[in-house]
Amino acid sequence: MTTVNIDPTGDIAVPSMSARRRAALAGHRARADRNNVEREPTRLFYVIFFIVGIFVAIGLVMVLSASSIVSVNNGGSAFTMFLKQLMWAGVGLFVAIGTYRMPYHTWRMLNRPLLAFAIILNLLPHSPLGITINGAKAWVEVGPVRFQPSELLKFALIIYLTNLLGRRQSELTNPKRTLYPALIAWGFAAALALSQSDFGAAVVLSAIALTVLYMAGIPVRWIAVSGTVAFMGAFMFLLTSASRMARWTAFLDIEGNREHTSYQVWQSILSISNGGLAGVGPGAGTSKWGYVPLAHSDFIFTVIAEEFGLFGSTLVIGGFAALTTLGFLVAMRAPDYSGALLAAGITMWFGVQAIINIGGVIGVLPVTGLTLPLISYGGSSLLITLGAAGLLLNIARKIA
């Protein structure tokens, strides 16, 4: 496969989107047995592994710091939420090992059952098992276990689209065979998320679908039309509820809405400004003392910025920027077409979700309720994202 990510000096160069698309499309011309060849991991593999590991470690430390007050106020010990997150991190590690070691072509046989299972799970929030948190009926509670089914839906959609487009490479210009089935899967997944009032998940699902379609080689004009229709549909969905529209436009006037719809963001900005360059120190932040609700989950970046300042914020933002860039490099250099699409979909998932989460926390985007991948508190989020990271490393292990 043609490598387009090395500049004349031998350093890694940041590719353009068109270069990523051309490189990914070239992947299906590589020999089919390349992904079965054992190779020594490249520097790319080790850097991605390091970033994922650092993010999980940062997440555990910050969950301990951010959740201690909430845990005590709820009648538990300061370590209650931390120990739960540590347990999920351990389970997630085994899931990541499994997705890393299992040949990624095996997912082809599982694509439809996995998507069907994810759809069934996403119907459960509308059953008696569903619970509503912050206006979104997107969680399921079974005894002591609470999980968010939309996390699995993101992973399942990537697997399904990759299999669909991978099997029909020669029919990419036949909309009935490629575009329409992909749009049905994407539209149904997004509709499930919207039915739960989880607009953030719908945005991430759409970003995943559009990226995989683009990298697969679907004509750009079709993708543009599909994206435009999806945008108009999302806008109409927001217009159906005055309160929903108010929440989504509150970031345009944070100071004016600081007493109601922008309260969390206003308090978040105050806490971030309190951090300065070096932060107030681990555990010394004030945001978690009830000033910023959900400081341990959706707003965990606030705690990082306050306690570790600009340096800690730059580390996290830079880490996600590096992970996104390196993930697309893996997509470019993947040994085959399926690997390229999988890597691109997973990378866009992590990148877009991080942008939406951090953008909401600092007040430049609407608050959606999305977690910060690999860092925020939440067992289902950590478990699924670790599994996706293991699959990304699986593909990175195969590149030359």
Question: Who wins on pLDDT, 222 or 73?
Answer: 222
- φ and ψ of 8, to 5 deg: -60, -20
Of 109-118, 121-130, 143-152, 242-251, the range with the lowest mean pLDDT is 242-251
Q: Which residues contact 337 (CB under 8 A, 6 or more apart)?
A: 24, 25, 27, 28, 166, 169, 216
DSSP for 71-82, please give it: HHHTTS-TTHHH
pTM above 0.85, yes or no: yes
Please tell me what DSSP assigns to residue 224: H
Q: Provide the b/e sequence for 206-224 (b: ≥16 CB within 10 Å).
A: bbbbbbbbbbbbbeeebbe
Is the pLDDT confidence value at 205 over 80?
A: yes
Q: What average pLDDT does range 83-107 have in this prediction?
A: 92
Among the ranges 76-85, 261-270, 298-307, which has the highest mean pLDDT value?
A: 298-307
Is the pLDDT confidence value at 327 over 60?
A: yes
Is the pLDDT confidence value at 13 over 60?
A: no
Amino acid 113: pLDDT: 93
Calpha distance 291→132 (Å, rounded) = 22
Per-residue pLDDT of 36-49, as tens digits, reads 555 678 889 999 99
Is the pLDDT confidence value at 77 over 60?
A: yes
Per-residue pLDDT of 247-291, as tens digits, reads 878 888 788 877 777 788 888 888 888 888 888 888 777 777 777
Rg (CA), the chain: 21
Q: What average pLDDT does range 99-124 have in this prediction?
A: 90
Residue with tokens 């991605």: 48
Question: Who wins on pLDDT, 324 or 41?
Answer: 324
Per-residue pLDDT of 189-198, as tens digits, reads 999 999 888 8
The whole-chain average pLDDT of the chain stands at 85
Q: What is the band of 18 on the pLDDT scale with cuts at 50, 70, 90?
A: low
> Taking the CB of residue 345, how many other CB atoms lie within 10 A of it?
29
Is the pLDDT confidence value at 153 over 90?
A: yes
Calpha distance 51→323 (Å, rounded) = 7
Closest CA to 375 of 394, 357, 393, 388: 357
Is the pLDDT confidence value at 95 over 90?
A: yes
Q: What is the band of 347 on the pLDDT scale with cuts at 50, 70, 90?
A: very high
Where do the DSSP E strands lie in the chain?
130-133, 136-142, 145-147
